Amino acid sequence: MSAIATKELSARVGVEVLDVDVERLLNDDEIAVACVDLLEQHGVVLFRELHAGDEAQVAFSRKLGELVQFGKYTNPNVMEISFDPGNPNAKYFPSNDYWHIDGSMDPVPAKTSVLSAHVITDRGGETAFASTYAAYDGLSGEERKRFAGLRVVHRMERIQRLSYPDPTPEQLADWARWSDRVHPLVWTHESGRKSLVFGASASHIVGLDPDESRALLDDLEHRATTPDLVLTHAWSVGDLVLWDNTGLVHRACEFDRSQPRRMHRSTVLGEESIK
């Protein structure tokens, strides 16, 4: 076994793997095994300027599990994230600017997301990450008791309205293709750890007054994403970042949308529903 050198990126979130090139990524099986542990401990794992390319990214992602298939893309293992008008999902990507969990509208959210930078802008366009385990750990004992039974309705319309506050009937009909999904506010993972489930898709808490519900969800998100808790990754072309989508929220930071920016994402299917 070869040792893997790492460096913490911030106190709470993120670790960089050092001295690994694409060849080693693909051929040294210890790397994928180590990444699983690093993801559990640090949430985000960075390989700086790896320049993996789609084939290597997909081959490595497969070592972490089965991949989500993106039927609209030429390579169904890779979703291109860009505002290029030819991108089949371009209209949905503005919502990436808001804190979210990938696949929060799915029965089982993604386990690991793998994102690489292909075209970046001179300014902005970072990706920010915050731990939802830390969000739970930051609650008072009284809050932990109060939140234990709460259930949250996740709704596509809630995510999309943040970017399109005045939707057309066609947009509303499109968003309604996703059924609401109800998740507990507190996720007790099979590992025994607990995290909070919030973010852009969180519409309201079942049975609570709407204003109280909105205020609580906003407060939890605000407290979990104060700058001292957030890792903001400023991309270089070729960077590859993995994140534990079950224990983090993330978002894209602002950039000039008239400039091209293109990221490639492969996604490892979730194995654990939120319960």
At 232, phi and psi to the nearest 5?
Answer: -110, 115
Closer CB to Mn ion, 96 or 213, in the complex: 96
CA angle 106, 150, 191 (to 5 degrees): 65
Per CB under 6 A, contacts with ligand OGA among 118-147 are 127
User: Is the distance from CB of 251 to CB of 148 less than 8 angstroms?
Assistant: no
Q: Is 263 in the site for ligand OGA (CB under 6 A)?
A: yes
* Residue nearest Mn ion by beta-carbon distance: 102
- Among ligand OGA, Mn ion, none, the one that 115 touches (CB under a kind-dependent 5 to 8 A) is ligand OGA
Measured distance CA(99)–CA(220) in Å, rounded: 12
Q: Is 102 in the site for Mn ion (CB under 5 A)?
A: yes
Is residue 81 helix, strand or coil? strand
* Residue nearest ligand OGA by beta-carbon distance: 252
Candidate residues 6, 77, 96, 213; the one interacting with ligand OGA per rule CB under 6 A: 96
Closer CB to ligand OGA, 2 or 89, in the complex: 89
CB of 26: closest distance to ligand OGA in angstroms? 22
- Among Mn ion, ligand OGA, none, the one that 221 touches (CB under a kind-dependent 5 to 8 A) is none
Closer CB to ligand OGA, 188 or 232, in the complex: 232
Q: Which residue, among 213, 152, 217, 202, has the nearest Cα to 182 in the 3D structure?
A: 152
Measured distance CA(165)–CA(158) in Å, rounded: 10
Closer CB to ligand OGA, 135 or 200, in the complex: 200
User: Is the distance from CB of 129 to CB of 233 less than 8 angstroms?
Assistant: yes
Per CB under 6 A, contacts with ligand OGA among 235-254 are 250, 252
CB of 83: closest distance to Mn ion in angstroms? 15
User: Is the distance from CB of 102 to CB of 110 less than 8 angstroms?
Assistant: yes
Measured distance CA(30)–CA(45) in Å, rounded: 15
User: Is the distance from CB of 199 to CB of 100 less than 8 angstroms?
Assistant: yes
Count the Cβ atoms, other than its own, within 10 Å of residue 131: 26
Measured distance CA(159)–CA(203) in Å, rounded: 8
CB of 4: closest distance to ligand OGA in angstroms? 25
CB of 70: closest distance to Mn ion in angstroms? 13
CA angle 120, 16, 223 (to 5 degrees): 80
Q: Is 102 in the site for ligand OGA (CB under 6 A)?
A: yes
User: Is the distance from CB of 236 to CB of 119 less than 8 angstroms?
Assistant: no
Q: Is 264 in the site for ligand OGA (CB under 6 A)?
A: no
Q: Is 81 in the site for ligand OGA (CB under 6 A)?
A: yes
Where along the sequence are the contacts to Mn ion (CB under 5 A)? Answer: 102
Where along the sequence are the contacts to ligand OGA (CB under 6 A)? Answer: 81, 96, 102, 113, 115, 127, 250, 252, 263, 265
